[in-house]
Amino acid sequence: MGTTTMARTPDVGADAADAARALVERGRAAMRTLEGADQDRVDDAVRALAWAVYEPTRARALAELAVEDTGLGNVEDKVIKNQRKTFGTLRDLLRVRTVGVIEEDRAKGIVKYAKPVGVVAAVTPSTNPVATPVNKAMMALKGRNAVVIAPSPSGWTATARTVDAMRAELRKAGFAEDLVQILPAPVTKGLTQALMQACDLLVVTGSQDNVRRAYSSGTPAIGVGAGNVAVIVDASADLDDAARKIAASKTFDNSTSCSSENALVIVDAVYDAMVDALKRAGGYMATPDERKHVLERLWVNGKLNREVIARDCDVLAKALGLPEAAQKARFVMVEETGVGRDYPFSGEKLSLVLAVYRASDFEAAKALGGKILAWQGMGHSIGIHTDDMDHARSLAEDLNVVRVLVNQAHTFGNGGSFDNGLPFTLSMGCGTWAGNSISENLNWRHFINVTHLVTTIPEDKPSEEELFGGYWERYGKGEGA
Q: What CATH number is given to the structural domain containing 313? A: 3.40.309.10
- 182 and 55 share a domain? yes
User: Which stretches of the chain drop beneath a pLDDT of 70?
Assistant: 1-10, 480-481
User: What pLDDT score does 100 carry?
Assistant: 97
Q: How many domains does the chain contain in total?
A: 2
| Residues 163 and 297 occupy one common structural domain | no
Is residue 418 assigned to a domain? no
Half-sphere exposure of 338 (CA within 13 A, CB side): 5
Asked if 202 and 57 sit in the same domain, the reply is: yes
What range does the domain containing 239 cover? 229-411
Q: Residue 479: its pLDDT value, please?
A: 77
Give the pTM.
Answer: 0.94
Any domain includes 300? yes
Same domain, residue pair 355 and 404: yes
Residue type, 170: L
CATH code of the domain in which 43 resides: 3.40.605.10
Pair 39, 183 in one domain = yes
Q: Give me the pLDDT at residue 2, please.
A: 39
| Same structural domain, 50 and 154 | yes
Burial profile 3-35: b = 16 or more Cβ within 10 angstroms, e = fewer: eeeebeeeebeeebbebbeebbebbeebbeebe
Pair 123, 136 in one domain: yes
Distance CA 79, CA 65 (A): 11
φ/ψ (deg, to 5) at 137? -65, -40
Residue 324 lies in a domain: yes
Residue 262 and residue 357 in contact, taking contact as beta carbons nearer than 8 Å: no
In this structure, the answer to whether residues 234 and 214 fall within a common structural domain is no
Instruction: Find the farthest-apart pair of alpha carbons in the chain and give their distance in angstroms, rounded.
Output: 82
The shares of helix, strand and coil residues in the chain, as percent rounded to the nearest 5, are 45, 20, 35
Q: Looking at the structure, do residues 236 and 166 belong to the same domain, yes or no?
A: no
Percent of the chain with pLDDT over 70: 98
On whether residue 417 sits in a domain, the answer given is no
Q: Is 47 part of any domain?
A: yes
Kindly report, residue by residue over 108-142, the tens digit of the pLDDT: 999 999 999 999 999 999 999 999 999 999 999 99
Task: Identify the pLDDT of residue 6.
Answer: 47
Residue 282, classed as helix, strand or coil, is: coil
Domain annotation covers residue 60: yes
pLDDT for 206 equals 84
Helices (H) and strands (E) in the chain, counts: 17, 17
Does a cis peptide bond (omega within 30 degrees of 0) precede residue 186? yes
Give yes or no: residues 62 and 119 share one domain. Answer: yes
pLDDT, one tens digit per residue, over 220-264 is 999 998 999 999 999 999 999 999 999 999 999 999 999 999 999
ω before 458 within 30° of 0 (cis)?
no
What is the Cα–Cα distance from 126 to 173, expressed in whole angstroms?
A: 29
Determine, yes or no, domain membership for 258: yes
Q: Which residues belong to the active site?
A: 258
Residues 315, 378 within the same domain: yes
Q: What CA–CA distance (Å, rounded) separates 187 from 156? A: 8
Residues 103 and 164 in one domain: yes
User: Residue 239: its pLDDT value, please?
Assistant: 98
Residue 331 placed within a domain:
yes
| Amino acid letter, 16 | A
